[in-house]
Amino acid sequence: EVQLVESGGGLVQPGRSLRLSCAASGFTFDDYAMHWVRQAPGKGLEWVSGISWNSGSIGYADSVKGRFTISRDNAKNSLYLQMNSLRAEDTALYYCAKDILSYGDPPIFDYWGQGTLVTVSS
Partner 1 sequence: QSALTQPASVSGSPGQSITISCTGTSSDVGGYNYVSWYQQHPGKAPKLMIYEVSNRPSGVSNRFSGSKSGNTASLTISGLQAEDEADYYCSSYTSSSTLIFGGGTKLTVL
Distance in Å, CB of 15 to partner 1, minimum:
25
Distance in Å, CB of 19 to partner 1, minimum:
21
Binding site for partner 1 (CB under 8 A): 37, 44-47, 50, 59-62, 95, 100, 105-110, 112-115
Please give the Cα distance from 122 to 12 (Å, whole number).
7
The one-letter amino acid code at 100 reads I
Give whichever of 17 and 25 is closer to partner 1, judged by the CB atom.
25
Give whichever of 17 and 89 is closer to partner 1, judged by the CB atom.
89
- Count CA atoms closer than 13 A to 75's CA, side-chain side: 0
The angle formed by the CA atoms of residues 72, 75 and 80, to the nearest 5 degrees, is 20
The one-letter amino acid code at 109 reads F
Give whichever of 77 and 112 is closer to partner 1, judged by the CB atom.
112
Give whichever of 17 and 54 is closer to partner 1, judged by the CB atom.
54
Distance in Å, CB of 13 to partner 1, minimum:
28
Please give the Cα distance from 81 to 102 (Å, whole number).
19
DSSP single-letter state for residue 88: G
